[in-house]
Amino acid sequence: MPRPIDGLGDVLLDEAAIEREVARLGAQISGDYADKRLHLVGVLKGSALFVADLMRELTVPATLDFISTVPYAEGSASGVARIRKDLDDPIEGRDVLVVEGICASGLTLSYLLRNFETRNPASLRVCALVAKTRERPPDLTLDYVGLAIPDVFVVGYGLDWDERYRHLPYIATLT
């Protein structure tokens, strides 16, 4: 067992469970994109560890880009995010899979999908390792989800609280 870390509560996904979920998602995605070239877009920074592991599970050729958004103000009704670091490459005509570490309200992904649609990708899907069980915009479909969790704050495996805990190899609640 890892040494206890300040502020951590229950482990919701341990290392083995994460490995299993990532392998399952990788196999499913590889099957669905069997005759395609996949273009992964990781949403920084939470997806960094996940997308690196997911990519290694793919058996289809894949390219990788990243995007970073400024979070919308929590509680604001608009859900308008802003792009901090845009994609390096155009996505027109490409089969794009947006990869997110965690989906909570879904506002960030919903904003990104609307933005990406205007760039005319050949296809556009979403993969989230963790999705909180809560209401999300009706136009948002999570095509691939690792695990549904209750609406609690979690950290680890790329997910942070105030930039802390990203390095943990498991996902746990905060106390």
From CA 145, how far away is CA 100, in angstroms rounded?
10
From CA 46, how far away is CA 157, in angstroms rounded?
8
**Smallest gap, in angstroms, from Cβ of residue 34 to ligand IMP?**
29
Site for Mg ion in 144-163 (CB under 5 A): 160
102, interface contact from ligand IMP, Mg ion, none, CB < 5-8 Å by kind: ligand IMP
Dihedral in degrees, nearest 10, Cα atoms 85, 119, 138, 81: 20
**Smallest gap, in angstroms, from Cβ of residue 128 to ligand IMP?**
9
Q: Hunting for tokens 């999705």 — which residue is that?
A: 131
Q: Is 44 in the site for Mg ion (CB under 5 A)?
A: no
Residue closer to ligand IMP, measured from CB, 6 or 35: 6
Residue closer to ligand IMP, measured from CB, 56 or 134: 134
Residue nearest to Mg ion (CB): 160
Alpha helices in the chain (DSSP H): 15-32, 48-57, 107-117
105, interface contact from ligand IMP, Mg ion, none, CB < 5-8 Å by kind: ligand IMP
104, interface contact from ligand IMP, Mg ion, none, CB < 5-8 Å by kind: ligand IMP
Rg of the chain over Cα atoms, rounded to whole angstroms, equals 16
Q: Is 14 in the site for Mg ion (CB under 5 A)?
A: no
Q: Which of 109, 83, 79 is nearest to 96 (CA)?
A: 109
- Give the binding site for ligand IMP (CB under 6 A): 43, 46, 100, 102-108, 153-155, 159
Q: Which of 108, 99, 161 is nearest to 130 (CA)?
A: 99
Task: Give contact residues for Mg ion (rule: CB under 5 A).
Answer: 160
